[in-house]
Each structure stands twice: as structure tokens, then as C-alpha cells.
Chain A
Amino acid sequence: MLDPMAAIRETFFQECEDLLAELETGLSGIGDGTADAGTVNAVFRAVHSIKGSAGIFALDALVGFAHRFETVLDALRGGGLAPRPEVMKTLLQAADALADLIRAARSGESADEVKTRTVEAALTALLAGAAPPMAEPQTAPPETKPPPDRPKKAWRVRLRPSAALYLKGNETSRLLRELGRLSETYRVTLDASRLPDLTELDPEGAYLEWTVWLEGDLYEYAIREVFEFVEDDCELEIVRVDAAAIEADQAAFPSAVHAAAEEAAPAFGLFPPLDEPPAFEIYDIPAPPQDDVAAAPAPKPAAAAGHPAPGPLEAGVAKTELAPVSATIRVELDRVDRLIDLVGELVINEAMLSQRVFEAGLVRASGVGVALEELEQLTREIQDSVMAIRAQPVRAVFQRMKRLVREVAAQTGKQVRLVTEGEGTEVDKTVIERIADPLTHMIRNAIDHGLEAPAARRAAGKPEEGLVRLTALHRSGRIVLEVSDDGGGINRPFVRAKAVQNNLIAADAVLTDDEIDNLIFLPGFSTASAVSSISGRGVGMDVVRQSVQALGGHVSIASRPGAGATFTLSLPLTLAVLDGMVVRAAGQTLIIPLGAIIETLQPRPENVHRLDADLQVIALRGGFIPLIDVATSLGYRAHPVEPERAVALLVEGEHGARAVLLVDEIDAQRQVVIKSLETNYRAVPKIAAATVMGDGKVALILDIDQIVSATRAAERRAEPCLLEAS
């Protein structure tokens, strides 16, 4: 169990993540010009909420920065700061810095202070440059030449709190005091007309309504801000009115007001009549003659409408509470995982049941057979729906890439525009968590190596700003992610020379363009002529390929010289199930991950050569690939099967190492649910996991990498063939 405070803190950080995403989306939207007025507010509120909650946890650095950030956003919201590109750039940097501070606070580390201070200074500079709201053209006329006879600006704020507002520990008096700080001229009236008889009074109900008149050049947001945390728990009406109209209003009923106040005041004891008029006046008005309020005292019809005896406001409360019902819920991942496991069991059980029923001699057309088919249908639907719960849009990962692009662009001095498509494409959470790294690598690569420097782009007749496009889509039960750039494409002569230099290919090897492009996926191949801090570090696309293959996916490349390159990642939609080939070896049923299989072969005796007692190789398209008898490799039998009597599968492990696996027969291609062996046993060499087949038996899923690398030593002797096989 987490202690309560830690749990609350965790919730805070989770909320921060949502808010940061909102902030980033909002800022990007403002930058693109696709934002509406609400966006600026949303952005401001995001930072404001972070600041507020951070204060509770005494995260001072975070609060300080958020405050500065918020002040700038406020200026943006108020119109004092125009959303010019350079302003938006600073704001996006500030969003990044805020994210860093939050991350640091979460992990308990300290953030990069220099960076924070730099950004903070940039924010301050923005503020200094921003015109104060008063000097803005729209509001300027009343200020610069105030014609004394012109009606002054004023606001009428009508506040009717619901019981929920008080329940949450808010107080009206505080709200009114805050309003009072906004304006020199300030009047409050209380409408107690809804107050029922004592016998009907709900002690926890809310029956009062206040109307406040404020004079002066105020922005609506400034007034609204006072109610920021109670907005959902009250009826709030903020209307701009003419000061003259107010005066007329006031003039029309002051005596009535005062008369009423004198009667009402003893009853409330809250607003005693004042001898000296203070900076503001308070009126207690049971029933001011105004349209909006006049319509109000009608509790009886509400009571007649079916509620046993609702306080006049209860109807209003119900109304306001109905509106903002959240369409989403937060659920602990463990619970969803458990559900997914159980549904996996259900699928297996259903298959077992069908098998048993038909073994027992019942025909498919029988009633039982038909019912079973319906059960199967339902089970599949449940499985799909449950998987959909854990599915998430790739949006969150794409958002992170925006920041990455900004940073890499700044580091390389290139101008880059990132275009994303298909952000809503959904994929299992287990996959989402693991696509960020390969994507990061590919995008860095696209900017660092793909896009040319601005001068080179100009020379090639392209716009100076390079384009990186990130696309996600579903294709035949998999998710496909594409990273394409409009840079120079793969420099084939250079790649080839580099591969020769690194002994990856023979100097006279004949390679197609495609094969040359694919050289960049070989381990130890780094196209950066100078190791840069961005995508250098000696690791390259082989890491991408490796991690993608570990997920059961594959990566490919299409390059057009001068026009750019496209990297395509294809991944399974989930890691909970796997597409596998069911094979049999020495009487055991085994699963080979389909992603690792390149093709099946029928070995001929003349192509098989023995290198030594343990190792046989097969000649394949001019190269030699090691032969591995799966049953022998796993210790199921002492002597390997004769290759010509076996079925051979050409497989590829990480690092592109290949081998031909020999099995006795191929049974079927099937989707299997992955079960861990480690839960109740331990990791088993050469085995990735287990699954349960339709007959209820456990089948093991082969770890192709381990099986292939077991013959690695032997394979190194045949190194030159590594590529000729591709």
C-alpha cells in the first residue's frame, strides 16, 4: 500500500501529464493559428492548475516557474502579448522546461537549473516587451481621452452557489472579497428570496444569491478567474453593463433596498447596516425588481414536479451537476491486465470445449455445435473489446516527438517542421510504451542525417525548412508507423563505401539499391561521418531494428535520392498475443514467432554441407546458412533429423543473423496468448514464453535469437555470407 500522501502525489503527477499534454497541444494550436479563444484559456488553466497543485506539495521551484509562465500566458490571454512565432517558440520552450521540472520533482532529482533560468529569463523578456493590457488599442480610447460624460464600463456578476460549493470548503465571503479587490467601486446585493421557512430549511442547502456590480476597466477573465475553482459548483453570470444603467438601477430602488435591508438584516445578522459608507456598499435585497431575479422565486412548482420536498436550489444543483459528467475513468492497469488474462483463458477454454465436444462425436450442425459457434463468436468479441480497453492512441508518443524535433533542430541548426498524421491510431499500451525509443531514434536520424543544412536545401531548390512527417495507421491487423523526410535520401555510394570499410560487405559485392539502403541496419554501421551528440554514439539504425524485432515487428526503408527517405515500422497491435507458426519436433509442439520467419524451404541433400561434427550449413542463393535442428538444440533428441526429411524454416534473429531451423512438420499458423514461464518456474534458455493450445496442452514459444546465437561462433566463420543471403 502506498501511503495516502504518496498516492495523492502520484495522482498529482498523473494529472500533470494530462495537463502538460493539453498545454502542448494548445500552444501548438495557437502557433498554427488553428486555436480558438478557448484554447488560450485552456493553456492558461493548465499552467495555473499545475502551479496550484504544486504549491500543496511545496514544490517551490515548480511553483516559481509556473507562476512566471502563467503571468506571460495571462498577458497572451489578455491580448497584451501577440502570439508571434518567436513568442510561441519561447512558450513552447517554457512548456518543455515545465515538463522537466515536473519530471524532476517526481523523481526527486533537481532539474537543469541553467536551462530553467534561461527560459525564465526569456519569459521575463517577453513580459517586458508586452504592452500592458491598458495600452492595447481596443481598450485605449476610454483611457487616453476619457470623455467625462461617457458612460463608464461596468460589470454585473450574479453568483448563485450550489450546496456543492460549500461542501468543498469554499466560502462566498472569500469570493466576494476577491471581487472587491478588483475594483474601487463595488456593490453587492443579496437575494435571499429563495430562503424557505425554517421548517423546510435544509441546513446544508444553499439558498442565497449575490449580485455584484463592479466598475472600471476590467477584463472578463480577471473576474472569471476569481471563480476559477468554483465555476462548476455555482451559477455564474458575468455581464458587461453600462455604469449609467447601474446608477439608474440603483437610483430606482435604493430606498426599497435600504428599507428591505433594515427588515432583513436582523434575521441574517451577516450584513448589519453600516453607519459610514465604506469603500463599497452592501445591500440586502430580498427581491430586487430585476428580470432575472424576478423569475426566480418559484419553489412551489419545482416541488410539484415530483421531488418530495426539494429546496428551491436543489433543482438548480441537480442541473449543474448533470452537465459535466466525465466520459472517461481512470482504472488501475493491473485490473485491466487481469481482465485481459482472464479473457485469454476464456478463449483457450472455449477452444478446448469445442474440441472435446466434437471429439465426443457431436456434429457441427447439432444444437450444441451451433451454440458453441455462437459462444466462439462472443468470446472473440469480448477479447477484442477487452483489448480495446487497454488500447491507447499514439498521440502521447507523437506529442513527445514534437519536443524532440524542436530540440534536435536547435542542436543541428536546421529548420524542421514536423507533420503528424493518424495521432488517434490506437494500439495496445504494452506496445505504446515501447515504440517511443525506436521513433526517437528514427526522427533524430531523419533530422540529423536525412535533412540537409539550410544552405544545401536552398541550392537544391527546396524550401529551407525541412519536413519530417510522422504517420500512424492500421494495416492488416498491425500498426504501421512511418517516418519520412524530404531530405537528400540515402547516399548510396557513401553507405556502400562505409560498409566495405567496416568489413560488412566484400568490396566487389554486387548489391541492389535496396540492399545498399538496408546496409544501414547492420550492427556497427553508423552513417554519421562525425559522431554527433544527436544520433551518433556509435549506435545506429541496428538498434532500431533490434528493438522493433524484439516487439515482433519489422522495419523497412524506401529512399529516393534527392527526395528523401521513408522508414516504415510495422508492429503487432499488442504484445499479449503473438502470431506464430505451430510446428512439431520430436513429438513436441512448439511455436515459432511469425515475425522471425522469412520463408520455408525444402532442403535438398546436395545443398547441405557438413562443416564439422556439430555444424551443417545449407547453400542458399550463393551463401551458406547454418542448419539448426530444433529438437536437438532443445535437447529433445540426441541426433539431428536428416535435413531432407525435415521441413526447414529460414529465420532471422536480432542483428540480422540468420539460420535455417529444421522441424518435423509444420502444423498451422495461429495467434497465441503469451504466458510467462517465469511466474511459476524460471527463464528457460532458448524459450521466450509458453502458450496454451486448443487441447489444453502447453506449447513453448521459441526464442529465435537465443537459438540462432547459439551457433553464432560457427556462423562467424561463414561471416561473408551474412549479407549475400539477403
Chain B
Amino acid sequence: MTDSLTPQPNAMELVVFRVGAQEFCIDIMAVREIRGWTAATLLPHAPRYVRGVINLRGPVLPIVDFAIRLGLPSREPTERNVIIVVQAGPRQIGLLVDAVSDILTTRESQLRPTPDVASETAKLFIRGLLAIDGRMLSLISLDHLLPADDREAA
């Protein structure tokens, strides 16, 4: 739900998406486009959560299966799945999710810290939590989606 159409100080516009039963959101400024799933080309020796690469009108982008990345149960993607193309630093990455559910505006001050009890993986990607209209949304940080060159490589 949109609080207001006029931007407020510290206002954040967020894209809300669903993976399994959970809802996540990312800053809309990081989102380049949203497109349907197309079969990716497998990359050898890639971590399981890197589904491969696709051609986005020229540039070649890696596809990160967000469910596997978070350690959630994964299913083979179908045509109903969605790829959110995001800008993470210098790179563009395709984020494979189940569906995009909402776009909403909130304020930075609404953000609650991730509880300490959360797992290490969760803490790596979740910048904080938002409670909006009785829903709990996890705000995603894009910094650690891809394996670093020397760390985390499968």
C-alpha cells in the first residue's frame, strides 16, 4: 500500500517480491527492469545458486536463484517465475524470484534491525525488517549476492 504519492524526507520506494511464503523488498532505485524467466546458460563450476547467464539485450548477466541463496527450498523455475534485474555496485544481476507483489513507499525510520537470532546467511543479505500493514518484509542488501572472486566459490 502506498502511504503517499508525494515523496517525503527519507522516503524509500520499495519493490516487494515473494519467494516461497516469504516477502522481501529492495530499493526501487536498484531495480533496472523486471522480466519473465528464460532458460539460462549453465556456468561451469558455479555455486548452486547461480542458475547461469542470460543475454539482456547485449550484456550477459548472471542469474541468482534467491531461494537457494537464502537456503530456502528451491523448485525448478517455470514461466511463472520472474527475474528482477538489479544494479549491484558495478554489476547487473538477475534475481530469480517467485513473483513481484507490490511497490510501496515507506521511511528509512520504519526500518527495524535484523534480530540477533537470525542466521549468518540471513544477516548477510537482510539489511533490516519492515512491518507494514501487518506484513513483515525483509529489506535486501545486494552486496553479497554473488560469490566474491576468492571467497565462497563453490
Contact = CB atoms under 8 A, between A and B. Distances in A.
A345 B45 CA distance: 28
B72 to A, nearest CB: 22
Interface in A473-531: none
Contacts of B22: none
Interface stretch (B51-59, B118-126, B129-137): B51-59
B87 to A, nearest CB: 10
B116 interface: no
A692 B45 contact: no
A617 B55 CA distance: 37
A675 B60 contact: yes
Contact of B55 (A342, A679, A681, A698): A698
B30 interface: no
B111 interface: no
Interface in B55-93: 55, 57-62, 91-93
A218 interface: no
A697 B55 contact: yes
Contacts of A685: 44-45
Interface in A625-643: 633-636
Interface stretch (B1-9, B10-18, B35-43, B99-107): B35-43
Interface residues of A, number: 31
Question: Most chain-A Cβ atoms within 10 A of its Cβ — which of B43, B62, B91?
Answer: B43
Given A682-B146, A682-B147, A698-B53, A635 B58 contact: no
A597 B82 CA distance: 40
Contact of B60 (A341, A344, A698): A698
A700 interface: yes
B44 A345 contact: no
A687 interface: yes
Given A345-B58, A698-B53, A680 B92 contact: yes
A618 to B, nearest CB: 23
B44 A677 contact: no
B46 interface: yes
Contacts of A697: 39, 41, 54-55
Nearest to A700: B41
A51 B40 CA distance: 59
Nearest to B50: A681
Nearest to A342: B58
Given A680-B60, A681-B62, A686 B55 contact: no
**Which has the most chain B C-beta neighbours within 10 Å: A348, A682, A684, A697?**
A682
B58 to A, nearest CB: 4
A677 B146 CA distance: 13
A633 B45 CA distance: 10
B15 to A, nearest CB: 20
Contacts of B57: 345, 349
A696 interface: yes
A677 B147 CA distance: 14
Interface string A607-634: 0000000000000000000000000011
B58 A344 contact: yes
Interface in B125-154: 146-147, 149
A72 interface: no
Contacts of A683: 149
A229 B46 CA distance: 63
Interface string A664-693: 000000000001110111111111001010
A685 B45 CA distance: 7
Contacts of A676: 60
B41 A680 contact: no
Contacts of B43: 677, 681, 684, 687, 700
Contact of A675 (B52, B59, B146): B59
A635 B45 contact: yes
B60 A692 contact: yes
Central interface residue in B39, B44, B91, B93, by most chain A CB within 10 Å: B44
Contacts of B40: 698
B91 A696 contact: no
A699 interface: yes
A692 B58 contact: yes
A338 to B, nearest CB: 11
B77 to A, nearest CB: 15
Interface in A275-315: none
Given A677-B53, A686-B44, A690-B53, A341 B58 contact: yes
B146 A681 contact: yes
Nearest to B55: A692
Contacts of B92: 680
A556 interface: no
A600 interface: no
Contact of A679 (B39, B91, B147): B91
A588 interface: yes
A345 B58 CA distance: 6
B53 A681 contact: yes
A635 B44 contact: yes
Contacts of A635: 44-45
A619 B104 CA distance: 67
A699 B41 contact: yes
Contacts of A342: 58
Nearest to A687: B44
A690 B91 CA distance: 16
A677 B39 CA distance: 17
Contact of B91 (A633, A636, A681, A700): A681
Contacts of B147: 682
Nearest to B54: A698
Contacts of A634: 44-45
Contacts of A696: 38, 55
B44 A684 contact: yes
Nearest to B58: A345
A686 B42 CA distance: 13
Contacts of B58: 341-342, 344-345, 348, 675, 692
Interface in A333-378: 341-342, 344-345, 348-349
A588 B41 contact: yes
Contacts of A698: 40-41, 52-55, 60
Contacts of A636: 42, 44
Nearest to B61: A680
Contacts of A686: 44-45
A682 B55 CA distance: 16
A682 B62 CA distance: 9
Nearest to A352: B55
Contacts of B91: 679-681
B9 to A, nearest CB: 31
14 contacts: A345-B57, A348-B55, A589-B41, A635-B45, A675-B59, A681-B50, A681-B53, A681-B146, A682-B149, A686-B44, A696-B55, A697-B41, A698-B52, A698-B55
Interface of B: 38-46, 50, 52-55, 57-62, 91-93, 146-147, 149
Interface of A: 341-342, 344-345, 348-349, 588-589, 633-636, 675-677, 679-687, 690, 692, 696-700
Given A680-B59, A697-B41, A698-B40, 19 more contacts: A341-B58, A342-B58, A348-B58, A349-B57, A589-B41, A634-B44, A636-B42, A675-B60, A677-B43, A679-B59, A680-B60, A680-B62, A681-B91, A682-B147, A682-B149, A692-B55, A696-B38, A697-B55, A700-B41
